[in-house]
Amino acid sequence: MKSLLLHAKEFCYRPVKPAIKEYRDEVKEGEEKCFENALVVFVTVEDQDSANPKGVVSAAVDDIVKHLERVKASSVIIYPYAHLSPRLAPPHVAVKVLRLLEEELSSACKVDVHRAPFGWYKEFKLHCYGHPLAELSRTYTAPPERRSYEKKYLVLTPDGKVYEPEEFLEKADPELRILIEKEALGKELGEAENPVTRLAGKFGFEWEPYSDYGHMRYEPHAALMLEAVARYSWLVAQRLGIPVLRVHGTNMFDLSIKAVREHAELFSDRLYDIWADKKHLILRYAACHQQFAILKDYILSYRDLPLGMFEVADSYRFEQPGELLLSFRLRKFHMPDLHILTKDVDEAIKIVREKVQPVIHEEASKLGRSYVALYNVTSSFWEERFNDILEFVKRDGRPALVSIIPPLYYWVINVEYHIIDAAGRPREIATFQIDIGNAKRFGIKYVDSEDKERHPVIIHTALIGSIERYIYMVLDTAVQEYQKGRTPSIPVWLSPIQVRVIPVKPHDEQLAFAEEVLNKLLEAGVRADIDDRDISLGRRIRDAAREWIPFIAVIGSREVETKTINLTVRKTNDRLSVTIDELLAMLRKELKGYPLVEQTLPVRVSQRPTLAYLEKSVFSAR
């Protein structure tokens, strides 16, 4: 809040005409009011004041009362004045703060307090005293209010038994025990080296030092993996068996719009905000705003539901520096956000149970992982829908930690699916929520079978988590494989280069046959390259192994003669002699159901610059 405190010998104002339609005070147009020996407080309510209006007003009142005692004014005039700051609060916030300021000053002062009307063009005349304290400027601030509420933690088992977390701790499997200790018991897990972040660096996922901390850059291998997972997330959404619309939109929204503001206030301390053209804008933290802005314009019938809407949304959250983790907790990330409109809570539960939940678990199991769940539920949902929650837990197939909270948010249930990573930390990957508030907030409607307008219930879900978090799970799986003494690898569909062709002698007939193999692979949509550098065979094979290339195809004179390939399979360490058709059959099996994504590097290794990230040593020769 910005203010100008003027000790006036005489001050008069007169409302001339309305300036805004909404939120303006009702006063008689043209009626003049005059005051003598008044402390006139010109006030500009700023946008940031909405984070803690009571704190800002308290700071202002303390200062104004002290100043009033010094100048001995007979009254205080609060005068709304929008010209002391370019970052104005929206009208509804400004009115709230000004009225609160009037109320608190009236209680604290021994003189009359008058507030000039808000929302009017006004003329005024001022005769200001000339003493040293007659003119002062002030800025009043207060830290954002933090929402605090009591959580009740319980453990719910698939057989319907409920335990206190401490009581269940000894019965819990190791992964659930870690989640209980961290979330319910507040155990400090301490510092631990995270080998996943080193492995992420080896694939070209790195912090961008020229940006705000918490933003990543994606070098060629990382860019390929990011694109592959983004395309895959759309295929996964389509597997649900319901109509899904894919959209794309902007990443910034106007906080003066009521629906945007109310939704954003739930994330107040994690918002990225900017000012442009005197507008206060937020960078989106998920695809909710864009998808809801589209859906509110649709004419929907109950026959259209369930209906999904999907976007891979660049999302922004102002995470604290100590919380940031490469490829996992970021300030900018990519969220494959799916929202599903359903007729009511019963249908939402059915869709989650029969479609969303199975896909979430299936995608984790494809990587050899299983989730441990944290169920955040409102107290009323826990009491009224216990059997539905229990059915979710049964389908998870293991006990779940439950957090019961007051109905503060737009959702009634918010399930976080965690892995326990190689550093022994719970990491949330996939999620779903059942949202009963945002359809009304954003004006999304459908017409039911009785021709009545209703607000749908919305399922929010990230079936595989954010793009970066999914990749984190892939890399963490590789780390854990290494820790078990196995050769670490990543899925073939996600490998930046799937086959490297290496002629023993990179010239003559060996190179010609190697190029023939390469071209057939490329024609089939396989990401393949050829190491045609004039260096030793051993060095070229070691380089391919360091890149974790799933299939290394060596071509020597024997292979040229027999039209075969000497193939090394990374995951199994098998050495095979195969034909090109046999290799393509192996690849088709590995790649079935996954996207074919164009590679991000020249196909000839000799044409590439030295990529520093590939030189990073993470594990031993395996």
Give, rounded to a whole angstrom, the gap between the first and last alpha carbons of the chain: 61
Q: Which of 139, 168, 201 is the C-terminal boundary of a domain?
A: 139
Assess whether 380 and 469 both reside in one domain: yes
CB 9 within 8 A of CB 36: yes
Assess whether 22 and 128 both reside in one domain: yes
Q: Which domain holds residue 32?
A: 2-139
> Letter for the amino acid at 112?
D
The residues, any chain, with a CB within 8 Å of residue 478's CB and separated by 6 or more, are 199, 488, 489, 490
Spans in the chain with pLDDT lower than 50: 620-622
Closest by CA position to 154, among listed 386, 411, 418, 358: 386
Q: What is the CATH number of the domain that holds 58?
A: 3.50.80.10
Assess whether 451 and 312 both reside in one domain: yes
CB 518 within 8 A of CB 583: no
The residues, any chain, with a CB within 8 Å of residue 304's CB and separated by 6 or more, are 243, 341, 446
Residue 530, in any domain of the structure: yes
Residue 312, in any domain of the structure: yes
Q: What is the CATH number of the domain that holds 501?
A: 3.40.50.800
| Alpha-carbon radius of gyration of the chain | 31
Assess whether 131 and 58 both reside in one domain: yes
Residue 621 is predicted with a pLDDT of 41
Residue 256 is predicted with a pLDDT of 85
Number of domains in the chain: 3
Assess whether 73 and 219 both reside in one domain: no
Q: Which helix (H) or strand (E) holds 104?
A: helix 91-108
The token duo for 395 is: 């389908």
Assess whether 401 and 506 both reside in one domain: no
Distance in angstroms (rounded) separating the CA atoms of residues 476 and 2: 50
Q: Which of 446, 476, 506 is the C-terminal boundary of a domain?
A: 476
Helix or strand or coil: residue 274? strand
Residue 305, in any domain of the structure: yes
Assess whether 458 and 551 both reside in one domain: no
Assess whether 217 and 98 both reside in one domain: no
Helix or strand or coil: residue 9? strand
Q: What is the CATH number of the domain that holds 206?
A: 3.30.930.10
Residue 256, in any domain of the structure: no
Residue 483, in any domain of the structure: no
Residue 371, in any domain of the structure: yes
Residue 485, in any domain of the structure: no
User: The pTM is what?
Assistant: 0.88
Residue 333 is predicted with a pLDDT of 96
Closest by CA position to 296, among listed 447, 455, 451, 445: 445
Assess whether 323 and 187 both reside in one domain: yes
Assess whether 291 and 324 both reside in one domain: yes
Assess whether 301 and 215 both reside in one domain: yes
Q: Which of 139, 166, 201 is the C-terminal boundary of a domain?
A: 139
Assess whether 99 and 224 both reside in one domain: no
Residue 93, in any domain of the structure: yes
Distance in angstroms (rounded) separating the CA atoms of residues 226 and 205: 10
Q: How many helices (H) and strands (E) does the chain have?
A: 18, 28
Distance in angstroms (rounded) separating the CA atoms of residues 163 and 401: 10
